[in-house]
């Protein structure tokens, strides 16, 4: 990955306070003991004319990838690896905190990433807690699964 | 105006690179010699849940006002006074520059504000130049008047 001109880290946090998204989604996975995969994601979506800015963000964090989103015709920078999120993304926003309402999302996000990095999301009780926390985030976002369906899956697990 | 906790100036520029808007609009004004009023505006629109962030921006710049926009149900911080724009808004973004494509809008905006602050926008030739420049900005924005109608008004002026 090309190293761009240094962006001021506070600039990055300001941009993310407006345009960034911290989310935690879930998928049913029969192969997992707990039956549910936890998927944290940090992303920024920008118009094509700001693709260069997105590349600089990519270089700044040194992880993740940029892809084109056909559905909303934007470019999205996204980091999903638990290791990258824990080592690079979360520490940045702890050092250069968000100011707006998104800061609440970030606190939950950081907690989920740390738990997942320690493999605690494979424990049924912790996963239940993670699901409850995640559904407090991004009130305007769309969800593929209802919370009660995820929790029922956990309740029905053979112990 | 209450002084909020200090925001990092780079944070403000980062937020504005995403959510800010520099615009120059025009109104027909028979009372003016040139017949057209030049109206530069700097604004940031945020959701209700980020009203507090907007108040901090307001305190940071020490000028402008916040109002509720019924049409898109957001709160908008806006600074429109030529004097405030020239003394407070423009110098901030010259010191802590934008990185994305909005930086092009800003360069035009700063030039228009300086010309208006020196009352050059009351000169027909300079106003024609300002109109041409302004219509290069915000390609996605809506305009009340077509450029050709503004320029025709100038052409028809009695000298």
Q: Is residue A116 part of a domain?
A: yes
ipTM for this model: 0.90
Contact B102, B68 (CB under 8 A): no
Q: What is the mean pLDDT of residues B55-84?
A: 95
CB-nearest partner of B99 from A7, A10, A96: A7
Report the residue from B13, B16, B101 with minimal CB separation from A50.
Answer: B101
Band (B72; pLDDT cuts 50, 70, 90): confident
- The confidence score (pLDDT) of residue A147 equals 92
Task: Judge whether A112 and B65 are in contact, CB under 8 Å.
Answer: no
H or E stretch covering A78: strand A74-79
CB contact burial A78-112 (16+ within 10 A = b; e otherwise): bbeebebbbebbbebbeebebbbbbeebbbbbbbb
Query: Quick check: A93 and A106 in contact, CB under 8 A?
Result: yes
Give the minimum alpha-carbon distance from B10 to chain A in angstroms, rounded to a whole number. Answer: 5
- Residue A159 pLDDT > 80, yes or no? no
Q: Is residue A126 part of a domain?
A: yes
Could you tell me the sign of the dihedral formed by the alpha carbons of B41, B42, B45, B48, in that order? negative
A3 located within any domain = no
Tell me the two tokens of residue B6: 């200090």
Nearest CA in chain A to B4: A99
Whether the pLDDT of residue A53 is over 90: the answer is: yes
Q: Is residue B2 part of a domain?
A: no
CATH number of the structural domain spanning residue B113: 3.10.28.10
Q: How many domains would you assign to chain A? A: 1
Mean pLDDT of A29-58: 94
Which of B9, B48, B100 to probe the A interface (max A CBs under 10 A)? Answer: B100
Instruction: Please report whether residue A64 resides in a domain.
Output: yes
The parent domain of residue B140 ranges over 9-155
Q: Which residues of B touch A99 (CB under 8 A)?
A: 7, 11, 53, 56
Asked if the Cβ–Cβ distance from A13 to B13 is below 8 Å, we say no
Nearest chain B residue (CA) to A102: B50
Instruction: Report if residue B127 sits inside a domain.
Output: yes
Kind and range of the H or E element at B16?
helix B9-19
CA distances for A65 relative to A33, A61, B28, B70, B113, angstroms: 29, 10, 48, 38, 39
Nearest-angstrom CA–CA distance, A108 and B105: 36
- Which pLDDT tens digit goes with each residue over B92-142? 999 999 999 999 999 999 999 999 999 998 899 999 999 999 999 976 667
Write the residue in B7, B15, B46 that is nearest to A15 by C-beta.
Answer: B15
Note the pLDDT tens digit of each residue in A63-73: 999 999 888 88
Is residue B1 assigned to a domain? no
| Predicted local confidence at residue A140, as pLDDT | 64
Q: Which two tokens stand for residue B49?
A: 């849940």
From the CA of B97, how many Å to the nearest CA of chain A?
10
Residue A103: inside a domain, yes or no?
Answer: yes
């Amino acid at each position: 990955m090309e190293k761009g001109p240094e962006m001021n880290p506070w600039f990055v946090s300001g941009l993310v306070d407006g345009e960034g998204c911290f989310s935690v989604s879930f998928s049913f996975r029969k192969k997992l003991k707990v039956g549910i995969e936890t998927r944290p994601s940090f992303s920024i979506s920008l118009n094509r004319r700001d693709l260069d800015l997105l590349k600089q963000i990519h270089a700044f964090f040194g992880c993740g990838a940029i892809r084109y989103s056909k559905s909303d015709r934007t470019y999205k920078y996204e980091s999903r690896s638990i290791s990258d999120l824990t080592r690079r993304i979360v520490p940045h926003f702890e050092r250069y905190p968000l100011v707006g309402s998104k800061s609440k999302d970030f606190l939950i996000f950081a907690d989920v990433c740390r738990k997942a990095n320690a493999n605690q999301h494979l424990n049924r009780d912790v996963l239940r807690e993670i699901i409850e926390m995640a559904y407090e985030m991004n009130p305007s976002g769309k969800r593929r699964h209802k919370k009660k369906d995820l929790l029922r899956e956990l309740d029905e697990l053979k112990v």
